[in-house]
Structure 1
Amino acid sequence: MISASPCGHKDNYSHEEVVYVSQQKTMVEKLGDWVYAASWDDLSSEAKEALKGRVLDSVGCAIGALEGAPVKSIRRLTDDLGGSPYVTLIGGGKTTPDNATFYNGAAIRYLDFNDAYLAKEETGHPSDNIAPVLAAAEYANASGEQLLLALAVAYQVQCRLSDIAPVRKNGFDHTVQGAYAAAAGAAKAMGLTAGEIANAIAIAGTGYNSLRVTRTGELSNWKGLAYPNTAMGAVHAAMLAKYGITGPREVFEGNKGFMDAIAGDFTMDWSNEDLERVTKTIVKRYNAEIHSQASIEGLLELREQERIAPEAIKSIHLTTFDVAYHIIGGGEEGDKKRIRYKEEADHSLPYMLAAAYLDGQVMPEQYEATRIKRDDIQQLLQKIDVQPSDAYSDRFPQEMACDITLETNDGRKVTIEKSDYKGFHTRPASWDVLMEKYNGLTRNVNETNAAAIASTIRGLENKNVSDLTTLLEQITVREAE
């Protein structure tokens, strides 16, 4: 079987693939068939709009992060590495597809402000797939429609594996499912054959199994770089597959494979999957870890209603669902009251709630070093207690249930209950709401360029990927006023 790809090469089944034809297909080969067969017509209008919304949201996050210290360090590394100028870097310049994936992915992820998907035992950020899919699509000279379709594939793979094969409880990071998703999306964007797609997924799935220590205990820059690193490897895996390199065809079900070594047994009939999971993802209203969103909105509402001075507060007690407690509330993933820098602050419910009450918002400026170190916030966060509730845990992930009780020094108590927030799937963010967030994140770049980027994304299915990347290359950040 020979076919031409958008990259201009001839796709031939390798010797190994010819041998496989006579054997029963494995799960990754069936996944490759599904990815290859996915078409634009399979997407609902709601999914298409959601995909464009996620691209807008993530590009805004990337632009807002360009002056972040780790992002600037990775930019210097990328420039030092050089490489053939195939793919655009957000903010100017070009490099290889894998290097561009790492840098652009780091920018999208750094603020921890991009979307999320809540499975019962796993939470991930499917928009982390935008960097690898965009790099692969630009490399392949793809259309905007092809980019969005490949992105839908990546969203579906990551979300569904998170549903049926959670790994956090076994000590692995959610980027594990991301390896399969990013490779599937990148391979689809490159126009690879079904066999090549399967090989790309198998290579990435075998090679990128990150430890959960990434997000436990004393946090580091790696918290925001683990997925960009996995995505970079996934793009490299797709390139290897494009050039005929094969991967373990029993990566899922084989001896010492994903099921045997990490996730346990599960079943999945990819042929029955749709492309709608993107509509179940949620957007952050506040620049804070996703499980904090309802509690932050609730505390801000309580702040507005009661107008209690911070110095009059004796304690703030949050009762929430178990996932929030264990990841950001001081449960199994470590103490959350010793806060010294951004990576610790944006994964600490006590810090984020204290910032919300003191400043009336939780945005990138709440994570500046000078804000983190101030006495007012350090003192208030020590007064915040977080505990889990079985009843609220049973309602997750359909709801983000919690209640907050604020007690004053004179013994007065006020309480508020929440089940969701604006941006949750029960109250999804409209394009106008996303634009408000985007405009805030892009306030330090040229307004005309930022508006042109948003307009291009709004009609991306009728554009070429190069129309977007040309604008992304033109971004320049001016000094904040």
Structure 2
Amino acid sequence: MIDTGTGSGHTSTTVAERIADWVTALRFDDLPAEVVERTKLVILDQLGVQLLGASLPNVQPVLRLAEGQGGMPEATLAHSGALTTVSRAAWVNGTLGHSCEYDDAHALGWHTASAVVPAALALAERDGASGSEVIAAVAAGIQVMALLGAVTAGMVTTGWHGSKVLGVFGAAAAAGVVLKLSAPEIVNAFGIAASDAGGTMEYDQSGGEVKRLHAGSASRSGLEAAELARLGLTGPPTIFEGHRGIFRLFGGTTSVAALDAAWDRWHVLDTIFRFYPAVGTVHAPLDAVRHLRETHDIKPADIEKIRVGLVDFAVGHGAAITRPTDAISAQFSLAFGTGLQFVTGHNDPADYLDAARWADPEILAVGDLVEPYAMPIPDGDPAFSAKVDIILRDGTALSHYQAGFRGHPSHPATAADIESKFRENTRGLITGEHADALVAAVETLETCDTVRSVTTLLGINH
């Protein structure tokens, strides 16, 4: 169990105070070794996606805007290596980190690293904070997002994007650790950040690359909230459980029972690493499709029908789009991802950003055979599970049930898996020697007096 000091039997008045007390008391030495190692892997994975993201066409408007605005040289932008303000670095790097649906995910905290890591690294680079302080900050930010997400899990049904709603608080907590804010200042930072909590998920119905901004804007808002709190700006201390607070507005409740129950563990250990550049709800189906396709050597011409059983909310969040019109709609399309599997044999990031692929008649023809439906997930299995039945034209019926997926805590990613993904994401962008140096810098981050050993390597021309 995690020793929070403020779990059951707490004496603080508000939820914000309880969480702030824990955040300000946290020290690197409090982190178990497995938490330290997992947090470093989260950071490495996020940096690899940032570097890849900067090369992608869908977020070029963000880079062009940032280049045009300039700013004080305080923190490094991934890929270009240019220096800008901490706020702009958090915004840009967070957007890059969420640019291609390849960053990590979390059952309670949604997409944590792309909101938390950019804020922590930017401030640490500017202020000379140590690597161990950044590790503690990232672990704290992820913990906060998961704790709050335990209460607001129902927001997905009303169309709120948890990465943006929760990300502002995770970034504020991480920034508070780096800035060494007091507990009252972190309470104010939460109250300030709450005004930027939001972000709709209509993109998972009809597309729109604006979704990529949700992580970056959350990172920037949380960072700025912490800086504003340090300068004396205030926010409501009942921002979470109050009548007009986050829990009621996004979770439909003012009960803190779910939050109390979630104090029992380090939530960074529940990080989901994505090995398909697609929404998390389609990973188990794609794993199942891959298993059946490879085991039985199924060709597209053999298929009569593909039935996919999913948890109820996944039918609308990952299975609603059948005709992609942009990268985000391709990445949220179970039909498109399944078509890619059969036609290309893989699900590479480049395929999801290739307009020719979106209209490929072979891919779409396979996608048209996909019939998603809601099914009850067996007790004890992850919500992100799926059953795939492929009926062939000769009448053969093939079936595979996938409980969780590779990268999910039920099938945890190894350090080698995550390093391999990092190298794949950065291949062609940086040299092998450069990749080696960046991997080594993150692996030894807790020994570094400053994080500049990492941030100076983020530029591709290093």
Tell me whether the two structures share a fold, i.e. TM-score over 0.5.
Answer: yes
Match of 1:48 in 2: 36
Match of 2:170 in 1: 181
The answer as to whether partners of 1:319 and 1:402 remain within 8 angstroms in 2 is yes
1:272 is displaced (CA, Å) by: 9.3
Distance across 1 between alignment mates of 2:204 and 2:356? 24
Give a deviation string over 1:418-444, Cα, whole Å, max 9, x none.
112221112211111111111111111
Matches within 5 A, 1:317-466: 317-330=307-320, 336-367=321-352, 368-392=354-378, 395=380, 398=382, 400-444=384-428, 445-463=430-448, 464-466=450-452
Percentage of identical aligned residues: 27
Distance across 1 between alignment mates of 2:397 and 2:112? 39
Distance across 2 between alignment mates of 1:132 and 1:192? 15
The total of aligned residue pairs comes to: 443
1:395 is displaced (CA, Å) by: 4.7
Q: Secondary structure at the match of 1:390?
A: coil
The answer as to whether partners of 2:204 and 2:332 remain within 8 angstroms in 1 is no
Distance across 1 between alignment mates of 2:418 and 2:455? 20
Q: Tell whether 2:136 aligns with 1:149.
A: yes
Matches within 5 A, 1:257-268: 257-263=245-251, 264-267=253-256
Matches within 5 A, 1:23-38: 25-38=13-26
What letter corresponds to residue 83 of structure 2 in structure 1?
K
Matches within 5 A, 1:201-216: 201-213=190-202, 215-216=203-204
1:125–1:361 Cα change, 3 Å: same
1:223–1:271 Cα change, 3 Å: closer
Distance across 2 between alignment mates of 1:266 and 1:468? 41
Distance across 2 between alignment mates of 1:437 and 1:426? 19
Distance across 1 between alignment mates of 2:300 and 2:260? 53
Give a deviation string over 1:78-105, Cα, whole Å, max 9, x none.
1111111111111211111111111101
Match of 1:13 in 2: none
Q: Secondary structure at the match of 1:118?
A: coil
1:427–1:262 Cα change, 3 Å: closer
What letter corresponds to residue 374 of structure 1 in structure 2?
D
1:220 is displaced (CA, Å) by: 0.5
1:275 is displaced (CA, Å) by: 6.5
Give a deviation string over 1:314-365, Cα, whole Å, max 9, x none.
21111122232221122xxxxx112122110100111111111222211212
The answer as to whether partners of 1:165 and 1:266 remain within 8 angstroms in 2 is no
Structure 2 residue ranges without an equivalent (≥5): 1-10
What letter corresponds to residue 241 of structure 2 in structure 1?
E
Distance across 1 between alignment mates of 2:410 and 2:243? 41
The answer as to whether partners of 1:31 and 1:270 remain within 8 angstroms in 2 is no
Give a deviation string over 1:183-204, Cα, whole Å, max 9, x none.
1111211222222111111100
Q: Secondary structure at the match of 1:403?
A: strand
Give a deviation string over 1:299-326, Cα, whole Å, max 9, x none.
1111111112212212111112223222
The answer as to whether partners of 1:317 and 1:404 remain within 8 angstroms in 2 is yes
What letter corresponds to residue 192 of structure 1 in structure 2?
L
Matches within 5 A, 1:126-275: 126-128=112-114, 129-166=116-153, 167-174=155-162, 175-213=164-202, 215-263=203-251, 264-267=253-256, 273=263
The answer as to whether partners of 1:113 and 1:284 remain within 8 angstroms in 2 is yes
State the superposition RMSD in angstroms: 2.1
What letter corresponds to residue 423 of structure 2 in structure 1?
N
Structure 1 residue ranges without an equivalent (≥5): 1-22, 331-335
Distance across 1 between alignment mates of 2:196 and 2:383? 35
Distance across 1 between alignment mates of 2:351 and 2:152? 35
Q: Scaled by the length of structure 1, what TM-score is found?
A: 0.87
Q: Scaled by the length of structure 2, what TM-score is found?
A: 0.91
What letter corresponds to residue 214 of structure 2 in structure 1?
A
What letter corresponds to residue 386 of structure 1 in structure 2?
P
Q: Secondary structure at the match of 2:387?
A: strand
Distance across 2 between alignment mates of 1:64 and 1:300? 25
What letter corresponds to residue 343 of structure 1 in structure 2?
I
Q: Secondary structure at the match of 1:422?
A: coil
Distance across 2 between alignment mates of 1:71 and 1:260? 33
1:471–1:316 Cα change, 3 Å: same
What letter corresponds to residue 251 of structure 1 in structure 2?
I
